[in-house]
Structure 1
Amino acid sequence: MKIENAVVLVTGANRGIGAEFVAQLQARGAAKIYAAARDASTITAAGVEALELDVTDPEQVRAAAAAAGDVQLLVNNAGISTGTSLVSGDLAAIRREMETNFFGPLQTTRAFAPVLAANGGGAVVNVVSALSWFTVPGAGAYAASKAAAWSLTDSTRLELAAQGTHVVGVHMGLVDTDMAQGVDAPKISPAALASAGLDAVESGRVEVVADEWATFVKSGLTLDPTERYEQIFAALRAS
């Protein structure tokens, strides 16, 4: 589908990747942008319709779908990272990551699927992560939620095919946002990531592997887990 003249809703649109999706959509001539966030007052972009939306709240999700019945493209960007381990970490934090990163896009996709169908099929973009394919100590909750989001993306792509809805999964390593500010490693810019996601919508691609680290991680999916995690195992044994 073409972004020009399209009606789009972006979750988590107040900062970082979400704010950049809004900017890129504006640059490509989207007709209307619903910029959604838990606190609509934090939306600072001009020329958008700010929408209060906590993706973990079923009532707010239903209200958003009712209010934005002209949407043709849904960008599921809202997400969190708590740095919680699965075995020893706080179970409430683990549940919060799963509620936001998996159940959030699941709820919005379910609510907007009939809206997209009524408006010609349209598309859904899910901002996932290369940590859907890999994990590191201390990131267990995030990786598990993003692995679930990857499966969600593949499953909804199949389920929505009959109504003509194009579903895109966007995978990346580190992005230069507040979430990764304490990590000293190469990072992709939010602008480059958002642009790659929208390019996939317009070209018909179903998956974006946005940077070198994501490409490297995906290339290891066929390896035995002991090979994939060989360096981490070695570091753990040495500690």
Structure 2
Amino acid sequence: MTLDNNFSHWMWLKLFCLTIIATLTFEHSQFDIRISEFFYNNGQWLIEKSAQPYAFIFYDGPKALLILSAIYLLTILLVKYKRLAKRPFITNHSNLNKYIVPFSIREISYLLIILIAVPSTIALLKGVTHVSCPNHLTLFGGDLPYLNLWQSMLAKTDAKCFPAAHASAGFSLYGLVFIPALYKYRYRIFETVTVLGWSMGLYKMMFGDHFFSHTLVSMLLSLTIVCALASVFFKRKTNVK
């Protein structure tokens, strides 16, 4: 079976346009406020920030796993490069094979770049947009006014809440969808990563760290980035065994 890169060649541009539309439509909307009101009752959020076991399940745990995954991929990449250089002390250790994912050097390099590029891009945007979190706003017991994106950028407050960075770490795993070796599992991977990313995003929404639009835009922007990089890394048709 062959993997035709046409599916991602221009899809990233469509996703980018969809990201802009979602930003203009949902950011600073009554829809955002209504969803946050669902988590905010009688002057209190549904859960407290850092409350356990929620913090471990939806924040510390996933964050640690993603960091370990990046370290693992980097280690495997170095091993594969050494094998490519035909170093005996690597090639003779066949027991090492069972710990190595059956991905090519290109596929592993793509995943590593995605795991770095997606959260870094979101973090950069957070520093530029200056959008407040719900729990910062007077609407939800805070002391800041509810400003739209443009007003927030002009005000240059210390707030850095848009898009959602924590959820983007989970959404960065969308990169697995575009790995040729996993192409036949792409729909299942897409569904799993979506559930993971939104679980991480909803956790932050439950104590007012993000609006719904923050997570939605983070998801769409993550998809845009992984799709754009996939069109670069996997330009040619690749055989999938």
What TM-score range do you get, normalising by the shorter chain? under 0.3
State the TM-score, normalized to the length of structure 2: 0.24
Structure 1 or 2: more helix by fraction: 2
Considering only CA atoms, is the larger Rg found in Structure 1 or Structure 2? 2
State the TM-score, normalized to the length of structure 1: 0.24
Higher relative contact order, chain-length normalized (CA < 8 Å, sep 6+): 2
